[in-house]
Each structure stands twice: as C-alpha cells, then as structure tokens.
C-alpha cells in the first residue's frame, strides 16, 4: 500500500509539474508569437530615443493589445540597447517577435518628400519639416549656412536654385545636411550636358535660367503659355531692355498679394527692381517649377516684346510687338481692374 501511495504521489506530482511547465511554455510562446498588433499604422521613433520613449510612442499609437508582453520580450531580446530612429510600418496582426526584430534591425520605411508651389526658403523649410525629422529652424540654418553655400559654388541669392520641385525618397530621420546634399546632387543631375548647352546657347548660366524661370512661373498660371512668356523676356534681354517684370517688384516689396502694380511700387530701390535695373535680378524670386525651367530652355521664338493679362481674368495674356499695341491691352486690363474695384 505504501509503494502504491508513493507511486501515486510521484505520478500526480509529475503531471502537476508537466502542467505547470506547459503553462509556462504556452505563456512564453504567447508573449513571443501571439498576434499582438491591433491595426496597420506607422510609428516614428525620433533620433536619440530611449526605450521608455519607444514604449510611450507605442502606447500613444494604441497599436498593441498587450504592452507588457512587448516590453518583456523587448528586454529579453536586448532591444533597449539597439534602438534605431526612423519611420516604421506596423502591420495588423503582427507578433511581438517580428515587431521587435523590425525595430531592432532598423528596418524602416522610406518617405516620399514632395514640394511644389513654393516661393521662399522659409516656406520650403516648413513644408519639408512636415515630412522628415529635422524642424524648419534647423533646415533654415543649413539653407543659409555660408560655408555650405560656398561649397556648392552658389551665393545666398542663388542657393534656392538647388531645390527642384519634385517627389524625392528619403529616410524620415535623415539630417538637414543629408537633405541638402541630396537636393544638390539632384540639381547637378538635372543640369546634364544637354541642358547646360541649351543654357549656353541663350547666353545664360543654369542659375540665370532658374532666375528667369521663377519670373515666368509667377507671370502665368498655365504651362502652355510659359514658352511664349519666356520668349518675351529673352527678346528683351537681347535688346537690353528693362524686363519690367511685375513679380520682381512684388518680391522686392515682400508682398505677392499685390494685384495691381502702381507707379509708386516701381520706385523701390532694390536689385530686384527690373523697372530700374537692366538684366536679370541677382537670383530667383521663387522656387520655379521644372515646367518653367524647361520653358525658358525651350522658349518660343517670336517678335513679342510685351504682354499684359487679359481683361477676362482667365489668367492668360495678350502679347504685343509694339508699345502702342501694348498700351491698348494695358488700358483694357486696367479698366477691368477698375470695374472689379481692384485698386492694389
């Protein structure tokens, strides 16, 4: 009887231990391999983040079913000592093991950086700062860094030339310096031998082409009219006539909201006043579209020397070869402005 009791005790104890071990194994397996994400989303881990910051980000994202199991496994896999910043895509129904492996390896997602319709470097910095990690202040400090500008062979007036509106791929946690260097590489790639030869053929440097393109971009809303507008300015440059470009006055005055350029505006003392200064201004008055740059390089050949907005406010222009014809067009437009009570 005694032996039976001992055997029974051993069997019961063994079964109990096996059950306990099974519970432990199931618990560990569950923490490691059980699906723990609630949705598909992106999380952004900033540069210099520690593990507590990552945990806070995950909590705020409300993406985990069980935050404690994530923390437990992260520590077991030594993730707190292998934190990499970046933009990470989290798939729905992902287990902790796969998620931590992604974070621990720094397997981040690239971001598409897009910018267009930008006038100033301040506006550009604001747009870019909403798409990558560096803030607008940091970006502007690099945009206006004299040593960087000189390294690119440009000036403060022309540094904006390197920013060609388009869609670019970056890592979210790239630095401001990395962003600028890539923009400069894209600028150099854009100005291939063919385009440089086109610019040379019209006696302009790439920076001068971009400067003229910025004026063209401000003058017309329509890509199909850009080559004709560019042709007017090329004709005026060839004849050494003042460009008399209203957008350059608006730039000099710091007010692009002006709808009616008046004589008092034309008196401003500025190198950007093309009513008083011959030739092109010192640099771009905005960051022109690639369409405008191509319009300058492939300008329309004609004999027009003047153009004026059409009085129907369509955004298109009437072109003229003579001043007398231009004055007629200008008076028609001025009457339309008066009718609409647009005085400035």
Q: How far apart are CA 29 and CA 217, in angstroms?
A: 62
pLDDT at 323 over 80: yes
* Residues 74-95 pLDDT 10s: 999 999 999 999 999 999 889 9
Indicate the DSSP class of residue 299.
P
Specify the 3-state DSSP secondary structure of 140: helix
**What predicted TM-score, i.e. pTM, was given to this entire model?**
0.86
Nearest-CA neighbor of 283 among 182, 178, 206? Answer: 206
CA atoms in the 13 A half-sphere facing the CB of 173: 16
Specify the 3-state DSSP secondary structure of 118: strand
pLDDT at 23 over 50: no
**Predicted pLDDT of residue 342:** 73
The answer to whether residues 212 and 233 touch, using CB atoms and an 8 Å cutoff, is yes
Cα–Cα separations (whole angstroms), residue 106 to 46, 62, 71, 202: 12, 21, 18, 49
* Residues 8-21 pLDDT 10s: 555 555 554 454 54
pLDDT averaged over every residue in the chain: 91
pLDDT at 278 over 80: yes
**Predicted pLDDT of residue 25:** 46
* Residues 161-200 pLDDT 10s: 999 999 999 999 999 999 999 999 999 999 999 999 999 9
**pLDDT higher for 69 or 338?**
69
Average pLDDT of the segment spanning 298-318: 94
**Predicted pLDDT of residue 337:** 85
Question: What structural domains and CATH numbers belong to the chain?
Answer: 30-105 (3.30.1490.480), 110-190 (no CATH), 193-339 (no CATH)
* Residues 189-244 pLDDT 10s: 999 999 999 999 999 999 999 999 999 999 999 999 999 999 999 999 999 999 99
pLDDT bin (cut points 50, 70, 90) of residue 61 is very high
Residue 135's region, left for phi above 0, alpha for psi from -120 to 50, else beta, is beta
Q: How far apart are CA 76 and CA 215, in angstroms?
A: 61
* Residues 331-342 pLDDT 10s: 998 898 888 777
């Amino acid at each position: 009887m005694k032996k039976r009791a001992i055997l029974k005790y051993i069997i019961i104890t063994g079964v109990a231990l096996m059950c306990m071990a099974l519970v432990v194994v199931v618990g560990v397996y569950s923490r490691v391999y059980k699906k723990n994400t609630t949705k598909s989303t992106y999380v952004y881990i900033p540069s210099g983040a520690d593990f507590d910051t990552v945990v806070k980000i995950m909590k705020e994202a409300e993406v985990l079913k069980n935050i404690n199991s994530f923390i437990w496994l992260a520590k077991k896999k030594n993730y707190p000592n292998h934190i990499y910043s970046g933009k990470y895509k989290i798939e729905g129904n992902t287990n902790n093991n796969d998620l931590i492996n992604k974070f621990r390896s720094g397997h981040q997602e690239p971001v598409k950086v897009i910018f267009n319709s930008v006038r100033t470097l301040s506006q550009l910095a604001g747009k870019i700062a909403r798409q990558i990690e560096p803030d607008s202040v940091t970006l502007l400090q690099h945009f206006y860094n004299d040593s960087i500008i000189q390294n690119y062979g440009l000036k403060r007036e022309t540094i904006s030339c390197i920013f060609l509106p388009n869609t670019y791929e970056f890592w979210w946690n790239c630095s401001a310096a990395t962003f600028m260097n890539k923009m400069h590489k894209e600028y150099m790639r854009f100005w291939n031998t063919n385009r440089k030869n086109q610019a040379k053929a019209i006696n302009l440097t790439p920076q001068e082409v971009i400067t003229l393109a910025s004026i063209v971009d401000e003058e017309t809303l329509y890509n199909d009219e850009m080559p004709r507008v560019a042709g007017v300015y090329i004709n005026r440059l060839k004849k050494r006539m003042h460009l008399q470009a209203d957008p350059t006055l608006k730039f000099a005055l710091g007010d692009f909201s002006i709808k009616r350029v008046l004589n008092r505006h034309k008196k401003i003392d500025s190198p950007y006043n093309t009513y008083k200064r011959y030739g092109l201004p010192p640099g771009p008055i905005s960051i022109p579209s690639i369409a405008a740059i191509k319009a300058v390089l492939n300008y329309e050949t004609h004999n027009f020397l003047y153009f004026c907005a059409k009085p129907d406010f369509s955004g298109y222009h009437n072109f003229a070869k003579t001043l007398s014809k231009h004055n007629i067009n200008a008076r028609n437009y001025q009457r339309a402005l008066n009718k609409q009570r647009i005085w400035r």
